[in-house]
Structure 1
Amino acid sequence: MKKYLTLLYYCYDPIAEAAQFAANHLDFCKSLNLVGRIIVAEEGLNGTVSGTVEACNEYMTAIHSDGRFAKTEFKVDEVDQPTFIKMHCRYKSEIVHSGLRDTSIINPAEKTGKHLEPKDFLAMKDEEDVLILDVRSNYEHQLGRFKNALTLDIENFRDFPEQINQLAQYKDKKIVTYCTGGIKCEKASALLLHHGFENVYQLHGGIIKYGKEAGGQDFEGKCYVFDNRLSVDVNKVNPTVVSKCYNCGIVTPKMINCANPECNAHITQCDACGTELNGCCSTTCTTHPRLRPYNGTGYYVKVPQAVLSK
C-alpha cells in the first residue's frame, strides 16, 4: 500500500452558516496536514483532499461522524505523493456552479435522477432506447469519454442549462448522465426532470467509481481530474486513446494547462509540441511576460493575482 491517498467526494446536505463552517473546516484540514480543494455552500460539500493514509482515514471518520454527511461516499486512490500543493476550503454559492440557485427548479437533496450502480450501468448502457449523456466540459470529454456517448459543446457546467432544448429530441429515451465523480449529474439529472424528461438516470459515483467497480469497460481515453495528476486511467478491460494533440493532431493521452497564466487553457498536447512551445497552447502564449516554467507536467500551482501583478 502506498503512503498517501487522494479522496474525491461530495454531499448535498444543508449547512447552516456555511461561510463559518468553511473557515473552521479549513483549520481542521490543516491540522491534519491535508492538501486539496474543498467548496462549501449552503447546499453541501464538494472536495478533493490528499495526505497520508492516517490523515485521510481520520478525515473520513470525522466527515462520517457528522450526521449531515454520514452518507458521504469517498472515492479513494492510492498515490505516490499528495496530489495538491496547498489546502483551500472556500465558501461559494454552489458546490458545483450551475447558475440555478432556485431550489424549486433543482434540489438534488430532494429529487434527482435514479442512481445506477456501475454494474447496472454496464448492463444498460448499450440498449437501443438508452442515451448516455456526458455532462462535463469540452476539455474533459475530449480527453476521454464513454463509447457512443453524447457530448455537449460546453466550456463550463454552468452552460449545461442552455443545452436542454437541444436534448428535447431524446425525451422518448432513457437518459443516463455521467461525470467524473457524480456531483454534476445530481444537478443535471434534476434539471432534466424539471423540464419534463421522464426516464432519467445517473451513473452513481461517476467515471471514477465505474473504473474501480466495473473495470472501466468502454470508457475510451483517460479521465480528467482536478488535481496535479490532471488525468487518470480508468479502463482496465479494453483501454484506448482517443485524444489528439491540440497543436499537431497526433494521438496523445497527455493533458496540460497552458503555461501562460492568463490563458491557462486545458488542452491535450504531445511531448514534442510541449517542448517546442514551452508548455503553451500557441506561439502567442510563449511570449507572455509571466510565462510559467514548463517542467513537462503541464500542472501549475495557482498564484494569487495580487502576487502576479507585482
Structure 2
Amino acid sequence: MNDILNIAAYKFVGIDDGHALREQLLSHAKALGLMGTILLAPEGINLFLAGTADAVREFVATLHADPRFADLETKESWSTTQPFRRMLVKLKREIIRMDHPAIQPAAGRAPGVEALTLKRWLDQGHDDAGKPVVLLDTRNAFEVDHGTFEGAIDWRIEKFTEFPQAMLDHRDELLGKTVVSFCTGGIRCEKAAILMHEAGLPDVLQLEGGILKYFEEVGGAHYRGECFVFDGRRTLDANLAASGHAASARAAEDPDIAIKG
C-alpha cells in the first residue's frame, strides 16, 4: 500500500538565519516523524522528505507560513516504505553546488517552460516560433544512464561543478536553437539556464519542476527509461512508482550527492 508521501521542493531565496532555521526545521520534522534531507544556504532551501501524508502536509504548511517560503511548490510521489533512514538538516554554501558565485538565482529566475507545453513542442518537432528545440540534460552521467528524454544532449559530466566548463566548450552548438535545460526536480536546470543566459545564449528555458513534474503532468511521453532519485527508491518510472533497481555505488557513498534536484 502506497501510504508514504514523498516530496521534493526547492526555492532560491535569501536566507540569513541558517543556524536558527536549521534547529527549528529539524525539531519540527523529527516531531512529525519525517525523514529525509533539507539543505539550507544563503541562496535558498532544497529538500526531499517522506512520511505520512498528514505529517508531510503539516510540515509544508509551516514552511508556507514563513513569507520566504510562502510560494514553495512541492512535487509529490508515493511509496510503500520509507525511502530515507534519518532526518538531516544541513547548512551549505550552495543548495546545489556549482562553484560559480556570479550565479544568483534569487535575484531573478530564468524563463521556464511548462511540461505540457514542452510535450506539445516535442510532438510537433519545434517550438511555437518554428525553431528547433534542443533538450539539454544537466544531470550527472550515471543519472542519465538510467533514463532521459529522446535525443537529449548529454555532456557526460561527473558532477555539477563541471557544467560551466562543459557549457563553454559546447556553447556555439546551441546558438540559434531553443534550448530546454532539465534535471530531476528543477534546481540544477534553473542554475544552468541562468548560466547559459549569462554566456550569451538568449533562447534558453528551464523545464519547470524538472523530470518529476513532467512525469506528474504528462507521463512518459518522449522519455526513455526511468528517473534516478537520491533516496532508497533509486529510480522512478513515468508513473512515479519505484522500480527497485540498485542505486549507484557512488551515490550511496558520497553524502554530498545524497540530495539533488
Tell me, yes or no, whether TM beats 0.5.
Answer: yes
CA distance in 1, matches of 2:175, 2:246: 34
Structure 1 residue 164, shift from structure 2 partner: 1.8
Contact 1:19–1:41 under 8 Å retained in 2: no
CA distance in 2, matches of 1:207, 1:6: 15
Which one has a larger percent helix, Structure 1 or Structure 2?
2
Residue equivalent to 2:187: 183
**1:4-153 to 2 correspondences below 5 Å:** 4-101=4-101, 105-125=102-122, 126-127=125-126, 129-153=132-156
CA distance in 1, matches of 2:168, 2:59: 42
CA distance in 2, matches of 1:144, 1:253: 14
CA distance in 1, matches of 2:20, 2:162: 30
Residue equivalent to 2:222: 218
For structure 1, the residue ranges without an aligned partner over 5 or more in a row are 237-251, 259-264, 267-298, 303-310
2:203 counterpart of 1:199: yes
Return the index of the structure with the highest Cα Rg.
1
CA distance in 2, matches of 1:215, 1:49: 22
CA distance in 1, matches of 2:169, 2:18: 36
CA distance in 1, matches of 2:253, 2:163: 27
For structure 2, the residue ranges without an aligned partner over 5 or more in a row are 256-261
Question: Residues 253 and 32 of structure 1: is their aligned pair in 2 closer, same or farther, counting only changes over 3 Å?
Answer: closer
Contact 1:221–1:253 under 8 Å retained in 2: no
Contact 2:142–2:248 under 8 Å retained in 1: no
Aligned-partner residue type, residue 86 of structure 1: R
Structure 1 residue 253, shift from structure 2 partner: 8.7
Question: How many corresponding residue pairs?
Answer: 246
Q: Secondary structure at the match of 2:19?
A: helix
Match of 2:234 among 230, 236, 245: 230
CA distance in 2, matches of 1:40, 1:204: 21
Q: Secondary structure at the match of 2:49?
A: strand
CA distance in 2, matches of 1:300, 1:135: 21
Contact 2:233–2:244 under 8 Å retained in 1: no
Match of 2:168 among 165, 169, 189: 165
Contact 1:177–1:201 under 8 Å retained in 2: yes
Aligned-partner residue type, residue 257 of structure 1: S
Aligned-partner residue type, residue 116 of structure 1: V
CA distance in 2, matches of 1:158, 1:253: 29
Contact 1:5–1:77 under 8 Å retained in 2: yes
CA distance in 2, matches of 1:23, 1:74: 22
**1:280-291 to 2 correspondences below 5 Å:** none
Residue equivalent to 2:247: 256
Aligned-partner residue type, residue 7 of structure 1: I
Structure 1 residue 235, shift from structure 2 partner: 6.3
Aligned-partner residue type, residue 33 of structure 2: N
Please provide the CA RMSD for this pair: 2.1
Q: Secondary structure at the match of 1:133?
A: strand
Residue equivalent to 1:240: none
Q: Secondary structure at the match of 1:27?
A: helix
Structure 1 residue 19, shift from structure 2 partner: 2.7
- TM-score, normalised via structure 1 length: 0.75
- TM-score, normalised via structure 2 length: 0.88
Relative contact order, CA 8 A, sep 6+: which one is greater? 2
